[in-house]
A and B are shown apart, each in its own frame.
Chain A
């Protein structure tokens, strides 16, 4: 993970970029947000990976959205029961959903899949591991 670097940035306030590594957030500061610096993502926790990636389409509460087409809801979703399915979809993509295998490590994919499978009304407690993700890359 040493190769992954990113910006961690607070919004507004003093009006300059603040690296979280060198500055603690003020009392009522807006939530700091991580920005990646290259093609790959630097976020590590399942919660932050969801908030910075998945939420773009599947929305903050995981329920998806509909326009001319639909982003499926991840909430209380029985397709998530078999852990291999979400791992495969994140690694390889599905239809219009882009593959994230090149942009995320095995650890990151395991973290975000475990997060989704235990939030938004899902309660699947059999965690996937980085090893499971590695196998899914074949």
Chain B
């Protein structure tokens, strides 16, 4: 009843479709509502023809801006990049021991992680089908390692199911599948599918359900060595005299349904999260740093853009040097690729058409919070045999993600103690002082891992609405706004073209930022060589 009263959100809808109909149905649904668009990357961009020394001013040294700078310079343009931060990468960012971060409102956190430990406050995983990003990683020699999205031994947790005890993903998945298979086998054998499924297909269906659902000879999902092979054993196979395994008891259909833990299974079925996923070795910012190494002579850091003007002759961008803010500067160029997030761009005086201005103003920025926690020891591995992957919970922290590197070592470890995206809790955590965010993450997380209480050492919390260089996590297009404004946002407007994840069909993904930059400079280059 109470669930029904909640408005259905796009993500909820996808969760439902995914859970009810499987990932195939969800993929079709996602494609039709704007997610899961295939990466269109077709290999390194080829900008042919002579730009005759044309100059391009690029605003923002995130992945979009640096992709544009790298490729345009290679094609013969004179490029310059203005970046607000003192470092490259933008949201491609890693926090390590010794790093300082001052959020809006003025509170500075100092990261106290041990050497080699880090969190990625922004993007943290790369799908195998993000071919453009992967290609740049290869070309720029950024080493990758697996990012584990599905760890069968991690947990699903609800405060309102199983007495608040976390359940192993393996068991929930096996029981959900097994119980549905038993049910479907039962109605099949009762002849209730006779009108829709041929006798021959029913035989095949029963075989499939027995195999897929780990059913017994009588199509029952019961405690057996067959079901134990999916959901795990009460007593695992051993050696010698005590070798015999003992099966575990499955959870009843009604209990598994009412637990609602099934809703987290979409996180493993979703196209964006399917194996294989990657992360850069040593932190996500290895990508931004690799780009910046190539572009060291063209990026100017600590610049805050204050206005963007254009006429028939070119573009003039006014900015201040944030280390000497009293003085105003201008930079001019023939063209401008602007990757400034719309949350900031919408506030700047900017000479563009009313249609582009309306598009820039049409996109709210989502809230998101990530919290890194350092512990004395890797108890999740030592005590619970959880090596990488993610536990999901209905408490406000939503996720606990275990490090996908440094496995099986003694000593300290850092895990991601909260990852909130959208929804009420993201705002509630943003509104707290950083130290309280960390303390609350420890509090909520200890319901899943009691070791938190004794082993926690320090943490750092990034709330994206408080991040000075973005004022939000990512462009949160509504379907209506996208239909009305997206094309206007992406058009070349006089001498200005926009790029970034906000100008893509892959919102909040680095691939979107790169693909939008490639598309923008391709069109810009066509115009330049034509004139």
A residues whose Cβ falls under 8 Å from a Cβ of B: 2-3, 5, 7, 9, 11-12, 15-17, 33-42, 51-57, 59-60, 65-71, 93, 95-99, 102-103
Contact = CB atoms under 8 A, between A and B. Distances in A.
Interface of B: 1-2, 5-7, 9, 12, 84, 104-106, 159, 304-305, 340, 342-344, 346-348, 361, 363-367, 394-396, 422-425, 427-428, 430-432, 436, 439-440, 443-444, 446-447, 453, 463, 465-472, 476
A55 B395 CA distance: 22
Contact of B428 (A17, A53, A95): A53
A66 B325 CA distance: 13
Contact of B431 (A56, A96, A99): A56
B475 to A, nearest CB: 9
Given A40-B424, A65-B105, A67-B104, A5 B2 contact: yes
B49 to A, nearest CB: 35
B476 A67 contact: no
Contact of A56 (B84, B348, B422, B430): B430
A40 B2 CA distance: 12
Contact of A42 (B1, B424, B430, B463): B424
A56 B471 contact: no
Contacts of B159: 17
Given A3-B6, A70-B347, A96-B471, A15 B453 contact: yes
A-side interface mostly: loop
- The 6 A-B pairs at the shortest CB distance, nearest first, are namely A67-B468, A36-B424, A96-B343, A56-B430, A69-B344, A65-B104
A64 B348 CA distance: 17
B326 to A, nearest CB: 16
Contacts of B366: 98
B444 A3 contact: no
A39 B431 contact: no
A53 B104 contact: no
Contacts, number: 134
Nearest to B433: A60
A11 to B, nearest CB: 6
Given A15-B453, A42-B424, A59-B104, 15 more contacts: A11-B436, A11-B443, A16-B447, A33-B432, A36-B396, A36-B423, A37-B394, A39-B6, A51-B431, A56-B430, A67-B84, A68-B471, A95-B342, A96-B342, A96-B344
Contacts of B106: 65
B507 to A, nearest CB: 14
Contacts of B471: 57, 67-69, 71, 96
A15 B472 CA distance: 32
Contacts of B361: 95
A59 B2 CA distance: 32
A29 B436 CA distance: 14
Given A11-B439, A56-B463, A95 B346 contact: yes
A25 to B, nearest CB: 15
Contact of B347 (A35, A52, A95): A95
A66 B84 CA distance: 13
Contacts of A5: 2
Contact of B6 (A33, A38, A66): A38
A98 B364 contact: yes
Contacts of B305: 68
A38 B3 CA distance: 9
Contacts of B6: 3, 38-40
A7 to B, nearest CB: 7
A117 B440 CA distance: 31
A56 B367 contact: yes
Contacts of A34: 428
B347 A69 contact: yes
A75 to B, nearest CB: 14
Contacts of B447: 16-17
A60 B105 CA distance: 9
A4 to B, nearest CB: 8
A16 B453 CA distance: 10
Nearest to A2: B2
Contacts of B348: 69
Contacts of A53: 427-428, 431
A35 B463 contact: no
A52 B444 CA distance: 17
Nearest to A66: B104
A1 to B, nearest CB: 11
A106 to B, nearest CB: 14
Nearest to B364: A98
A16 B444 CA distance: 8
Contacts of A52: 427-428, 431
Q: Which of A34, A52, A56 has the most CB of B within 10 A?
A: A56
Nearest to A53: B427
Given A93-B364, A98-B364, A35 B472 contact: no
Contacts of A69: 343-344, 346-348, 471
Contacts of B446: 15-16
A40 B453 CA distance: 30
